[in-house]
Amino acid sequence: MTERCLSGAGKAMQLWKAYARSKSAVFGLVFLVGLALAAAFAGYIFHVNPELPDLAKDRVPPSFEHWFGTDYLGRDQLVLIVYGARPSLIIAFTAGALLSVLGTLTGVLAGYFGGRIDGFIMRTADVFLTIPTLPLVILVVALMGPNLFNVMLIIGLTGWPVMARIVRADTLSLMKREFIEIERVMGASIRRILFMHLLPNQLNSILVYTSLSIPVVILTEAGLEFLGLTPLSISWGFMLNTSISYWISGAWWLSFFPGLAIFSTALAFYFVSDGLKEALNPKAKRRRESLVVQLATRK
Amino acid sequence: MTNQPKPLLAVEHLSKHFPVRRSITEAFHHTIRVVKAVDDVSFRIPEGTTFGLVGESGCGKTTTSKVILSLYKPTSGRVLFHDKDLNTDLSDSERKLRHREIQAVFQDPAASLDPRMTVGRIVEEPLVINRDGNPRSTEDVARKMVDAVGLTQEQFDRYPHELSGGQQQRVAIARALALNPRLVVLDEPVSALDMSVRAQILNLVRDLQSKFHLTYLFVSHDLSVVRYLCDEVAVMYLGRIVESCGTRELFDNPLHPYTKALLAAVPVPDPSSRKTREPLPGNVPSPLDIPSGCRFHTRCPQVMEICSRVEPELVEISPGHLVSCHLYDSK
Amino acid sequence: MFNLPQESETLLSVDDLTVNFYLESGIVSAINHLSFKVNKGTSYGIVGESGSGKTVTALTIMGLLASPPGRVDSGEILLNGKNLLSMKSQEMREFRGDRITMIYQDPMTSLNPVLRVGFQIAEALIVHEGLPRQEAESKAIELMAATGIPDAGKRAREYPHQFSGGMRQRIMIAMALATKPDLVIADEPTTALDVITQAQILDLLRHLQREYGMSVILITHDLGIVAELCDEVLVMYAGHGLEHGSAKEIFLEPKHPYTRGLLESITRVDRDVKRLNSIPGTIPDMINAPQGCRFHPRCPRVFDKCLRQEPPAFKVENHRFCKCWLFETGKPS
């Protein structure tokens, strides 16, 4: 019954059980996995070249033949959306992970060490905050050519400061709690304190902010697509951006479906991270109650 | 004081100063302001005894205990443990040894425990950090400690938030004792607990002392607990020790005016002994602006002319009883 | 102590008060059939640990109970005959801060950091007595001086952060006394203060009470403070008023096993204690409170009636009462 008796597989099972308690969390996960699989195997699902224009079918509204309608080049939007999931998901994951990891590490180091290190990290973060993403991308692309990898790198590199701030603030408030001091008294190494005590207690903030930054990442990538800075021509962001000029013609489905795709994906990411948060929270059984009631129930 | 066995812990002329960030005007005038949290403090703790460090907030007792725990480095002075200076460059193995031998229990039990760890994991943590055996043996030791502090094996797998304050403090104590330390620093260990639970924890602390041959440094503002637990007491004010002696002597025959004022100020649970005297007026001065001469002279009811000029030394007035006050200057 | 020779009039009467909190996780029984009376001009102490219901009692009297999830399920609170619980919120607002005021525990957070201190004291006078600002502020300065703040005229223009903890508590006291209330509720007023500052504040409260003649309900967990300051004492535990008596009676002749246990378990400055007698167990969870007498799992004198039924308050010697089956006949069995 004790935790330590469980092997790795046992622990994973326990985590899954806790995770699966939330229907929305499971739904989110299913959605993302489904989307990823569909995107990966799009070629087998659809036997059409997504990029092939068919001007005869210019802007056909959603119908039985074309569930999501067609775009201004006559391409089926459903196919485009599924193919477009690829770059969106890849970028969302990698750039999101990059900014999350960078932001978390710098934030916790700044919070733990304080003093000069804190000052240095935070001023660097400030500098990054002032760098406008798009001009930077243009610069990099001009110097090194359009490249998906570069794009991901840049989005990750410019997105970390906000996460760093959040993690730093959380770290500072955790440091005030005595258990961190006791760890030092017991001889814990800095690495242990950071990774086994400070960061695990901040999973809430980290997960929440990461999931909130996913749609931002997708949309940033959209802007880059629009400027032709990436080697891709199909992505949700791109579809969304080009659709704006067609509003006047009343072709609402050009914006609606890519927008819906971004929205659903962001929501799915949010559900997943929320589910993870709940599953990893040892206090999951108890709800938060007001202060007065806490006084009434126990100290 | 001669021919005494070497004390377990000896603090010699310890000072800890914290620089205060300067405002621009101060930087211009090249003034560096310093908070003298601890200023020339010396005392010794014999093995197997409980030494109390008493005072109001800002007196430096907690800072002193943190220097002893190596959380701060002294600005000057020495801390000798087993007669070895804790702060000269220690080899890795010596540093590890220090961690094993000096542990702590702090005031707020909920804040001293990692909310994401079970009780068992928390108590095992010091053993794991210090690589003290394999997972099976560390679990054994942890279970034994959990038992020794009066918790059940069922609680071994619980999380801190599922326990009451008193139970959480027991976990903190079990953790502190897991490595079999020689010295345990107890900083206000029962102040955050309910009254009906305090006695349990105080008795536990006492019992564990004899069971495990522990030496305690007890830091508190609560004189009644000090009276119950401590063998010797040192009273601190604004970073200095003003009086130090055996516990009974302090309560029976306090010499320093501050000690007397402290004792007079504590409300006693006995309606027939209501206070007749006025309490000491004023506030503790800011540690940034320590009064000249005797630090207490601004509030002392028995202040004399010399007190504002000359800081009194800590002098042994009678065997084992030290006071820092001009009232007792030998003529 | 200001002892009126004739009968002391009842100022506040709490009668059969029950307050529950309705939460998702269950119903918290915070106060259970509580009854007590506070006489005019006396200092009434409510002693209890966490979960005893003492703070909820204070909030209920003040009309500050968070109304969902809290609810008064029975009882009345009469102040000079008026039932506070049946007042409309407008009426209660006029009462609160005027006839009944409160001093809170933490002076650091109880004052508005962006308003000058003099103004915060004057506010009560402006709102409740309709005084013009100038007059209110000069009265505030008088009050500050009365609570022992030196240089009051100058300091009234300062902000809370410029004062020490003890000074801020004096400001809170000045605020509480501005409207010359009938009743002041002090909830752990010295818990956050140092020993000597605490003594100063307690001394101040004692003097002011004599001078102004108001009644004070002092809520605390510290038995020393109760003995020091209070004329009468109510001992609360887990939402129940277990025992009541004068301060002398409670300390010299405690009836309830809980009170006895408590007195035997506290450390003392004034005498050597060989060994503390601790009360075993912990304070119960208020959602799943024990059946029968709430103290029974920890009581050294428990017997089977205690497990089955909650004892009512039994009369013991004139005006004292004790909620314990041992006193069913009015005398200990």
Q: What are the pLDDT digits (tens) for C183-204?
A: 999 999 998 889 999 999 999 9
Contacts of B263 in chain C (CB under 8 A): 269
Long-range pairs for C310-314 at CB < 8 Å and ≥24 separation?
Answer: C310/C32, C310/C240, C312/C33, C313/C33, C313/C35, C313/C241
C88 close to C95: Cβ distance less than 8 angstroms: no
Residue A3 lies in a domain: no
Contacts of A299 in chain C (CB under 8 A): 50-51, 283
Q: How far apart are CA B220 and CA B186, in angstroms?
A: 8
SS (H, E, C) chain B: CCCCCCCCEEEEEEEEEEEECCCHHHHHCCCCEEEEEEEEEEEEECCCCEEEEECCCCCCHHHHHHHHCCCCCCCEEEEEECCEECCCCCCHHHHHHHHHHEEEECCCHHHHCCCCCCHHHHHHHHHHHCCCCCHHHHHHHHHHHHHHCCCCHHHHHCCHHHCCHHHHHHHHHHHHHCCCCCEEEEECCCCCCCHHHHHHHHHHHHHHHHHHCCEEEEEECCHHHHHHHCCEEEEEECCEEEEEEEHHHHHHCCCCHHHHHHHHHCCCCCHHHCCCCCCCCCCCCCCCCCCCCCCCCCCCCCCCHHHHCCCCCCEEEECCEEECCHHHCCC
Contact A115/B at CB under 8 A: no
Query: For chain C, what percent of residues have pLDDT higher than 90?
Result: 60
pLDDT score, position A284:
57
A290 pLDDT more than 50: no
Q: How far apart are CA B174 and CA A75, in angstroms?
A: 69
Higher pLDDT, C6 or C45: C45
Confidence of residue A285 (pLDDT cuts 50, 70, 90): very low
List the single residue in C50, C251, C273 with the smallest CB-CB distance to B271. Answer: C251
List the single residue in B227, B274, B278 with the smallest CB-CB distance to C268. Answer: B227
Nearest residue on chain C to B225, judged by CA atoms?
C267
Neighbours of chain B (3+ CB pairs under 8 A): A, C
Long-range pairs for B133-139 at CB < 8 Å and ≥24 separation?
Answer: B135/A4, B139/A4
Structurally, chain A folds into a number of domains equal to 1
Contact C147/B at CB under 8 A: no
A250 pLDDT more than 90: no
Residue A148 lies in a domain: yes
Nearest residue on chain C to B249, judged by CA atoms?
C272
Q: What are the pLDDT digits (tens) for A33-83?
A: 998 888 888 777 777 777 777 777 777 788 887 888 888 877 888 888 888
Low-confidence ranges of chain B (pLDDT < 50): 1-2
Interface residues from chain B to C (CB-CB < 8 Å): 56-57, 164, 166-167, 194-200, 202-203, 221-225, 227-228, 248, 251, 261-275, 278-281, 283-284
Give the distance from residue B209's alpha carbon to the nearest chain C alpha carbon, in angstroms: 15
Q: How far is CA A205 from the centre of its chain?
A: 13
pLDDT score, position B82:
84
What domains lie within chain C, and their CATH numbers?
10-99+179-327 (3.40.50.300), 110-178 (no CATH)
Contact A295/C at CB under 8 A: yes
Whether C55 and A295 lie within 8 Å, measured CB to CB:
yes
Confidence of residue A84 (pLDDT cuts 50, 70, 90): confident
Tell me the CA distances in angstroms from C240 to A205, B319, C311, one per residue in order. Answer: 41, 52, 10
Give strand pairing partners of B78. B12
Interface residues from chain C to A (CB-CB < 8 Å): 21, 23-25, 28, 30, 50-51, 53, 55-56, 59, 66, 69-70, 239, 283, 285-287
Contacts of C201 in chain B (CB under 8 A): none
Listed in order, strand segments (DSSP E) in C94-231 are 100-103, 183-187, 215-220
Whether B266 and C225 lie within 8 Å, measured CB to CB:
no
Q: State mean pLDDT over C84-111.
A: 86
CATH of the domain at A128: 1.10.3720.10
Whether A290 and C28 lie within 8 Å, measured CB to CB:
no
A234 pLDDT more than 50: yes
Give the distance from residue A164's alpha carbon to the nearest chain C alpha carbon, in angstroms: 29
Residue A7 lies in a domain: no
Neighbours of chain A (3+ CB pairs under 8 A): B, C
A158 close to A136: Cβ distance less than 8 angstroms: yes
Residue A39 lies in a domain: yes
Q: How far apart are CA C68 and CA A108, in angstroms?
A: 39
Contact C242/B at CB under 8 A: no
Residue A263 lies in a domain: yes
pLDDT score, position B297:
93
Contacts of B111 in chain A (CB under 8 A): 176-179
Q: What are the pLDDT digits (tens) for A171-200?
A: 999 988 899 999 999 988 899 999 999 999
Tell me the CA distances in angstroms from A96 to A33, A110, A215, C204, one per residue in order. Answer: 17, 21, 10, 60
Contact A283/B at CB under 8 A: yes
What domains lie within chain B, and their CATH numbers?
45-73+88-237 (3.40.50.300), 256-265+285-331 (no CATH)
Whether C51 and A293 lie within 8 Å, measured CB to CB:
no
What SS3 state is found at C239? coil
Contacts of C164 in chain B (CB under 8 A): 283
Contacts of B238 in chain C (CB under 8 A): none
Question: Both tokens of residue B28?
Answer: 């211009």
Query: For chain A, what percent of residues have pLDDT higher than 70?
Result: 88
- In the predicted model, what is the mean pLDDT of chain A? 80
pLDDT score, position B25:
64
Contacts of B192 in chain C (CB under 8 A): none
Q: How far apart are CA A228 and CA A138, in angstroms?
A: 10
Nearest Cα to Cα of residue B208 among B186, B240, B227, B236: B186
Nearest Cα to Cα of residue A155 among A233, A230, A217: A217
List the single residue in C53, C55, C66 with the smallest CB-CB distance to A290. Answer: C66
C272 pLDDT more than 70: yes
Length of chain A measured in residues: 299
Q: State mean pLDDT over A152-162.
A: 82
Q: How far apart are CA B242 and CA B323, in angstroms?
A: 6
Residue B63 Ramachandran class (φ > 0 left, ψ -120 to 50 alpha, else beta): alpha
Domain around A284: 16-297
- Going C239 to C102 to C161 to B39, the CA torsion angle's sign is negative
Q: How far apart are CA A252 and CA A202, in angstroms?
A: 42
Contacts of B118 in chain A (CB under 8 A): 3
> Of the given ranges (A10-14, A291-295, B181-185, C149-153), which has the lowest mean pLDDT?
A291-295
**What's the complex ipTM?**
0.88
pLDDT score, position B182:
94
Residue A95 lies in a domain: yes
- Residue C115 DSSP symbol: S
Residue A251 lies in a domain: yes
When scoring B260, B268, B300 by the number of chain C Cβ atoms within 10 A, the one with the most, hence best to mutate, is B268
pLDDT score, position A289:
39
Neighbours of chain C (3+ CB pairs under 8 A): A, B
Q: How many CB atoms lie within 10 A of CB B288?
A: 11
pLDDT score, position A263:
85
Residue A203 lies in a domain: yes
Whether A4 and B156 lie within 8 Å, measured CB to CB:
no
Q: State mean pLDDT over C265-287.
A: 89
List the single residue in B164, B263, B279 with the smallest CB-CB distance to C200. Answer: B279
pLDDT score, position B154:
92
Give the B window 97-116 contacts with A, CB below 8 Å: 99-100, 102-104, 106-108, 111-116
